[in-house]
Amino acid sequence: MKSALFVDFDNVYSGLRKLDQAIADRFARQPLEWMHWIISKLELPDHSPEGARRRVLVRRCYLNPQAYQRFRPSFNLAGFEIIDCPALTSEGKTSTDIHMVLDIIDLLQHETHYDEFIVFSADADFTPVLRKLRRWDRRTTVLAIGFPSAAYRASADLLIDQDEFVRKALGFKDEDELSTPEPVPPSNSAAPDAKALSAAARLLVEQAVEEASSAVPMAKLAAQILDKIDGIDASTWAGYGSFRGLVESWSLGPLRSTTAAGGVIYDPRRHTLPTSTTSVTPKVLDKDVGGVVELIRQEVTRSATPVPCSRLASLITSQFGAIAADWNGKGTFRKFIEALELDPLQFDWSMAGGVVQDPTRTSSMPRNGSASSGWMEYEDILPVATQIHEVSGVPLLRPQDYRALFSIIEQDVRSHPFELKETGKRVRDGLREGGFGGSRLDVNWILRGLLMRGHVFGNGQDDAAALGMKTANNVRSLCLREQMILDKATETAIARWFGTGQVGAHLRQ
């Protein structure tokens, strides 16, 4: 598949720099690395020819030489044609947009039929050209750092998730230093970075077994991996389907694994093999499966919003390790869940990782605007909050969850230097410990929103009230961009939702 790549360097670099300077610098100084990821590992957009492989025939980088001349050699080495777009105004406005649009249209009518146009920019001005490319039956792939508009996202055939790009293309993982080669995953279902995640998990297991005085239960090891290694999800296990599938992909050297005693990993040179070598009896498994069903029902009943399947998988892994090792013989979490009797619960697998809810309880159905007992005195603003969530993508957390979230952020940055990844983990943990709602993705959305609006943590303006105000203003800005009318009722809902106590504070911060 013939592809052409257009990089709005100023837009991408400045967006990444707001999140983390190190990430931005790696993007700017190592384009060869992320180009390799685009060519060899990035999925193809929908409706691409079966069996096609990407060939990036055109590589163009548009940058302001007055500000970013130092990065020119790196892009030269990566085979880019560099288009200088110096500032034309005192505010630093360049002609990048018009240059890119003209070049895209030029290649659209080129004698070489380019099948795919890849655009690195979050600028919504490119929406019309993406639509034009679609009308000409060309595939479009977009990387947008920050919060791209809904129209921009919908106009692309493939939207590269910024977290995926940072993790996989730029290589920012917990185990960034690991380079131990691993076997090829057993099927094409494994994620592109499964080898790196598998290597990190294997080293953790080897260290835990080495330090243990007896055989280590698989359930305990699985829980440690989920807690310490970002990128591994209990519902997929980096594409290997189950923890046991992941373990079986390793070459553990002297270590051994067995299904005895619910599954353990041990070193035969130091550990005694568990005395029971028989498989768990069907009676015990039936009892455990019943416990899993009860656990799922309790979690759904306890939650005022749909429950992420990733949370269920983590809970099952920690409490029913023998089942979670290979999902009771079903191989994958989804197949295991679909074999359970869970009526009337409903699973929606279209969302990332899947969610589950009880349609008979209005409190677990916030998307349709029904009143939720979890919102208590804020039930009247739930319909507006739901609409704002659908328009802007802001997490649909309860007002009390947001108050707790901002307070935990304030406390955390007083005690630790801000770092997006680690701060996000601690804040997420703080919400869980306090019994409040909010996933890691929700926390990251808020933190990124603050960073993208120019907030600098550690400068003495990290009190919960200020963070709430800036988040509310970020949401207002996103709503206006999506042409949502901010009338008095909407302004009141936003103020109460984020606990700002003010109405109409349009973009003051």
pLDDT digits (tens, 9 = 90+) for 134-152: 999 999 999 988 888 888 8
The more confidently predicted of residues 347 and 37 is 37
Q: What is the pLDDT of residue 501?
A: 63
Q: What is the pLDDT of residue 459?
A: 86
Q: What is the pLDDT of residue 374?
A: 65
The more confidently predicted of residues 233 and 190 is 233
The more confidently predicted of residues 92 and 70 is 70
* Contact by Cβ (8 Å): 353, 233: yes
Strand, coil or helix: 446: helix
> Does position 365 have pLDDT exceeding 50, yes or no?
no
CA distances (Å), 113 to each of 109, 138, 139, 424, in order? 8, 9, 12, 45
Q: What is the pLDDT of residue 275?
A: 58
Determine the Cα–Cα distance for residues 111 and 222; give it in Å rounded to an integer.
Answer: 54
> Does position 488 have pLDDT exceeding 70, yes or no?
yes
Tokens 């085979």, residue? Answer: 79
Determine the Cα–Cα distance for residues 286 and 472; give it in Å rounded to an integer.
Answer: 49
The more confidently predicted of residues 468 and 48 is 468
Determine the Cα–Cα distance for residues 170 and 167; give it in Å rounded to an integer.
Answer: 6
Domain ranges across the chain: 2-169, 194-266, 282-362, 366-497
Q: Which residues pair with 307 in a beta bridge?
A: 356
CA-based nearest residue to 206, from 197, 191, 216: 216
Determine the Cα–Cα distance for residues 476 and 392; give it in Å rounded to an integer.
Answer: 9
> How many alpha carbons fall within 13 Å on the CB side of residue 509?
21
Question: Percentage of the chain surpassing pLDDT 90?
Answer: 25
Cβ density class 256-291: b for 16+ within 10 Å, e for less: ebbbbbbbbbbbeeebeebeeeeebeeeebeebbee
Average pLDDT over residues 147-176: 80
Q: Which H or E run includes 217?
A: strand 216-217
Other Cβ atoms closer than 10 A to 145: 26
Express each pLDDT in 17-62 by its tens digit. Answer: 888 888 999 999 889 889 999 998 888 887 888 788 899 999 999 9
Q: What is the pLDDT of residue 371?
A: 37
Determine the Cα–Cα distance for residues 353 and 284; give it in Å rounded to an integer.
Answer: 29
Strand, coil or helix: 12: helix
Q: What is the CATH number of domain 2-169?
A: 3.40.50.1010
> Does position 80 have pLDDT exceeding 60, yes or no?
yes
Where in 344-454 does DSSP place strands (E)? 346-348, 355-357
- Which tokens in the block code for residue 210? 């080495």
Express each pLDDT in 388-420 by its tens digit. Answer: 887 788 888 889 999 999 999 999 999 999 988
> Does position 375 have pLDDT exceeding 60, yes or no?
yes
Mean of the per-residue pLDDT values of the chain? 80
Average pLDDT over residues 62-91: 87
Express each pLDDT in 169-209 by its tens digit. Answer: 888 764 333 333 333 344 444 444 566 778 788 888 888 88
> Does position 280 have pLDDT exceeding 60, yes or no?
no
Determine the Cα–Cα distance for residues 197 and 232; give it in Å rounded to an integer.
Answer: 7
> Does position 120 have pLDDT exceeding 50, yes or no?
yes
> Does position 428 have pLDDT exceeding 90, yes or no?
no
Say which range, 196-200, 240-244, 416-420, 487-491, has the weakest mean pLDDT: 240-244
Determine the Cα–Cα distance for residues 356 and 346; give it in Å rounded to an integer.
Answer: 6
> Does position 469 have pLDDT exceeding 80, yes or no?
yes
Angle at 267 between CA 261 and CA 271, to 5 degrees: 65
- Which tokens in the block code for residue 498? 């984020």
* Contact by Cβ (8 Å): 222, 317: yes
Q: What is the dihedral of CA 229, 230, 231, 235, to 10 degrees?
A: 70
> Does position 259 have pLDDT exceeding 90, yes or no?
no
- Which tokens in the block code for residue 298? 């309790």
Helices (H), 303-371: 309-319, 321-324, 333-338
Determine the Cα–Cα distance for residues 39 and 55; give it in Å rounded to an integer.
Answer: 7
- 293-302 LR contacts (CB < 8 Å, sep 24+): 293/340, 293/341, 293/342, 295/319, 295/320, 296/340, 296/342, 296/345, 296/356, 297/342, 297/345, 300/345, 300/356, 300/357, 300/358, 300/364, 301/358, 301/361
